[in-house]
Amino acid sequence: MLIPTSIPILQAFNPTAYAGNWLAVVIAVVIALAAIGAMFAGSQLLSARRRSAEKLTTYECGIPPTPFAWSNINIRFYIFAILFLIFDVEAVFLFPWAVVFIKEQAAGNPIPFYAMILFLAMLFFAVIYGWRKGVLDWQK
| Residue 69 pLDDT > 80 | no
Query: Position 65: which residue type?
Result: P
Q: Domain segments of the chain: what residues? A: 1-59, 72-140
pLDDT digits (tens, 9 = 90+) for 33-46: 999 999 999 999 98
Query: pLDDT category, 29, cuts 50, 70, 90?
Result: very high
**Cβ atoms of 99 and 116 closer than 8 Å:** no
The alpha carbon of residue 54 and the mean position of all alpha carbons in its chain are separated, in whole angstroms, by 36
In this prediction the pTM is 0.44
Distance CA 17, CA 25 (A): 15
